């Protein structure tokens, strides 16, 4: 399930595993397709999938499965809520467009990705998000964006 997340953090003591082999199944929900792309090691994915042995929080950070390691569950909760608030303060169109274009770029050339971003941004020029951002910067206030 963690492989389907855009941003993955952990706290000390966290463990990550592919447990399906322990119950007689091949891993599903995309783990076998996503995990090699995330960590870049087919060998490590095979180790995890064939044995169900867990990856420690430190190892997950080292191989790129996670991008942040917090000391405690409470710290993880607090930092993730603050981070979510930061994302929520951004233009919803810009965040959705960024996610959409990141997903597109995984499977397409840089040229095709740049063209897609240009089309997306041209459409964003027709919204109130850019004027709201510019106005807010000038006034020193946070921008207020329309909901999607």
The enclosing domain of 128 has a CATH number of 1.10.12.10
| Number of alpha helices (DSSP H) and beta strands (DSSP E) in the chain | 7, 4
- Both 75 and 23 in one domain: the answer is yes
- Both 105 and 129 in one domain: the answer is yes
- Both 17 and 50 in one domain: the answer is yes
User: Does residue 148 fall inside a structural domain?
Assistant: no
Q: What is the pLDDT of residue 148?
A: 81
Domains contained in the chain, number? 2
- Both 66 and 119 in one domain: the answer is no
User: Does residue 144 fall inside a structural domain?
Assistant: no
CB proximity list for 26: less than 8 A, separation 6 or greater: 20, 32
Taking CA atoms, 64 is separated from 7, 8, 75, in Å, by 11, 9, 20
User: Does residue 130 fall inside a structural domain?
Assistant: yes
- Both 93 and 128 in one domain: the answer is yes
40: domain range? Answer: 2-85
Q: What is the pLDDT of residue 125?
A: 92
Q: Rg for the chain (alpha carbons), in Å?
A: 19
For residue 141, how many other CB atoms are within 10 A of its CB? 9
- Both 98 and 132 in one domain: the answer is yes
- Both 95 and 24 in one domain: the answer is no
- Both 75 and 94 in one domain: the answer is no
CB proximity list for 124: less than 8 A, separation 6 or greater: 91, 93, 94, 97, 130
> Tens digit of pLDDT per residue, the chain (148 long)?
899 999 999 999 999 999 999 999 999 888 999 999 999 999 999 999 999 999 999 999 999 999 999 999 999 999 999 999 999 999 999 999 999 999 999 999 999 999 999 999 999 999 999 999 999 999 999 999 988 8
Q: What is the pLDDT of residue 9?
A: 98
User: Does residue 147 fall inside a structural domain?
Assistant: no
Kind plus residue range of the DSSP H or E element containing 124: helix 110-124
Enumerate the H helices of 3-109 as residue ranges.
Answer: 31-39, 42-51, 57-63, 73-88, 92-107
Closest among 89, 74, 97 to 132, alpha carbons compared: 89
Q: Is 33 exposed, middle or buried (0-12, 13-18, 19+ CB in 10 A)?
A: exposed
- Both 11 and 59 in one domain: the answer is yes
- Both 62 and 75 in one domain: the answer is yes
């Amino acid at each position: 399930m963690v492989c389907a997340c855009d941003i993955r953090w952990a706290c000390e003591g966290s463990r990550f595993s592919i447990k399906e082999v322990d119950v007689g199944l091949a891993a599903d929900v995309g783990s076998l397709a996503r995990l090699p792309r995330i960590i870049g090691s087919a060998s490590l994915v095979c180790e995890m999938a064939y044995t169900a042995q867990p990856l420690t929080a430190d190892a997950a950070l080292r191989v790129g499965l996670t991008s942040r390691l917090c000391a405690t569950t409470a710290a993880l909760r607090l930092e993730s809520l603050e981070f979510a608030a930061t994302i929520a303060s951004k233009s919803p169109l810009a965040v959705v467009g960024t996610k959409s274009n990141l997903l597109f770029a995984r499977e397409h050339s840089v040229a095709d990705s740049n063209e897609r971003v240009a089309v997306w941004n041209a459409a964003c020029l027709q919204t109130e998000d850019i004027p709201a951002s510019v106005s807010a910067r000038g006034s020193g206030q946070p921008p207020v964006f329309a909901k999607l």
